[in-house]
Structure 1
Amino acid sequence: MTTNQDAPVIDREISLIFQGDWGQANLHRICGWLAQELGDRCAPGSRFGIWSGRGGADAVHAVLAHDVDAALLTPVAAAAGLPAGTGPLAVAGAGRLRALGTLPQRDRLVTCVDAALGVSRMSELAELLPALRIATSPDDGVNLIGAAAHRQLEAIGVSAARLDEAGGGFVYSERPFPAIAAFRDGTANVLIHEAIMTPAWQRVTERKEVTYLDVDPAVTEAFARWHWPTATVPAGYLPGLAHDLTALEFSDFLLVCREDLPDDIAALIAWCLVCTRQALEVQYRHLPADRSPVTYPLDPRAIATAPIPLHPAAEETYSALGDGADASGALMWA
Structure 2
Amino acid sequence: MSEAPVLGRPITLHFRGDWGQANIHRMCGWIAQEIGDRAPEGSRFAIWSGRGGLDQIEALRGGAVDIAIATPTAAMRMLHRAGNAKGIASLGVVGQRDRLVVAVDAALPVNTVADLGAIADQLTVATSPDDGVNLIGFAAHKALRLAGVDPDKLTFRYDERPFPAVARFAAGEANVLIHEAVMTPAWQRIDRVRPVNYLPWGDEVLRSFAAQGWPDAVVEAGYLPGLHDDLRTLDFSDFAVLCREDLEDDVAALATWCMVMTRRALEAQYAHLPADHSPVTYPLVPADMARTPLPLHPASARMYEALGNNELVDGAPIWK
Normalised by the length of structure 1, the TM-score is 0.94
SS at match of 1:309: coil
Q: Which amino acid in structure 2 is aligned with residue 306 of structure 1? A: T
Q: Would you say the 8 A contact 1:78–1:144 is kept in 2?
A: yes
Question: Aligned equivalents of 2:239 and 2:308: distance in 1?
Answer: 20
Which of these residues, 186, 191, 201, is aligned with residue 215 of structure 1?
Answer: 201
Aligned pair 1:269/2:255, yes or no?
yes
Which of these residues, 56, 63, 66, is aligned with residue 53 of structure 2?
Answer: 56
SS at match of 2:51: coil
Give the CA deviation at 1:249.
Answer: 0.4
Deviations 1:261-281 (CA, angstroms, capped at 9, x unpaired): 000000000000100000000
Q: Which amino acid in structure 2 is aligned with residue 37 of structure 1? A: E
Q: Would you say the 8 A contact 1:301–1:323 is kept in 2?
A: no
Structure 1 equivalent of residue 216 of structure 2: 230
Structure 2 equivalent of residue 203 of structure 1: 189
Q: Would you say the 8 A contact 1:77–1:228 is kept in 2?
A: yes
Give the CA deviation at 1:305.
Answer: 1.3
CA RMSD for the aligned pairs? 1.0
Structure 1 equivalent of residue 8 of structure 2: 11
Structure 2 equivalent of residue 32 of structure 1: 29
Give the CA deviation at 1:102.
Answer: 0.3
Aligned pair 1:100/2:98, yes or no?
no
Aligned pair 1:294/2:285, yes or no?
no
Structure 2 equivalent of residue 285 of structure 1: 271
Higher mean C-alpha displacement, 316-325 vs 230-239: 316-325
Q: Which amino acid in structure 1 is aligned with residue 60 of structure 2? A: V
Structure 2 equivalent of residue 129 of structure 1: 120
Aligned pair 1:110/2:101, yes or no?
yes
Structure 1 equivalent of residue 131 of structure 2: 140
Q: Would you say the 8 A contact 2:126–2:168 is kept in 1?
A: yes
Give the CA deviation at 1:226.
Answer: 2.1
Question: Aligned equivalents of 2:297 and 2:4: distance in 1?
Answer: 20
Q: Which amino acid in structure 1 is aligned with residue 177 of structure 2? A: L
Alignment of 1:51-200 (within 5 A): 51-85=48-82, 90=84, 94-161=85-152, 163=153, 168-200=154-186
Consecutive unaligned residues of structure 2, counting only runs of 5 or more, are none
Aligned pair 1:304/2:299, yes or no?
no
Q: Would you say the 8 A contact 2:210–2:216 is kept in 1?
A: no
Count residues in correspondence: 320
Normalised by the length of structure 2, the TM-score is 0.98
Q: Which amino acid in structure 1 is aligned with residue 161 of structure 2? A: R
Deviations 1:199-226 (CA, angstroms, capped at 9, x unpaired): 0000001111111111212211331242
Structure 1 outlier segments of 4+, above 6 Å:
none
Deviations 1:104-157 (CA, angstroms, capped at 9, x unpaired): 000000001101112112211111110011000000000000000001111122
Deviations 1:235-258 (CA, angstroms, capped at 9, x unpaired): 111011111100100000001111
SS at match of 1:80: helix
Q: Would you say the 8 A contact 2:4–2:254 is kept in 1?
A: no
> In percent, how many aligned pairs have the same letter?
56
Give the CA deviation at 1:325.
Answer: 1.9
Question: Aligned equivalents of 1:218 and 1:111: distance in 2?
Answer: 16
Q: Which amino acid in structure 2 is aligned with residue 44 of structure 1? A: E
Relative to structure 1, the CA distance from residue 46 to residue 240 in structure 2 (aligned partners, 3 Å threshold; closer, same or farther) is same
Question: Aligned equivalents of 1:29 and 1:284: distance in 2?
Answer: 11
Q: Which amino acid in structure 1 is aligned with residue 113 of structure 2? A: M
Question: Aligned equivalents of 1:323 and 1:226: distance in 2?
Answer: 33
Question: Aligned equivalents of 1:52 and 1:29: distance in 2?
Answer: 11
Question: Aligned equivalents of 1:170 and 1:131: distance in 2?
Answer: 11
SS at match of 2:306: helix
Consecutive unaligned residues of structure 1, counting only runs of 5 or more, are none
Question: Aligned equivalents of 2:233 and 2:71: distance in 1?
Answer: 16
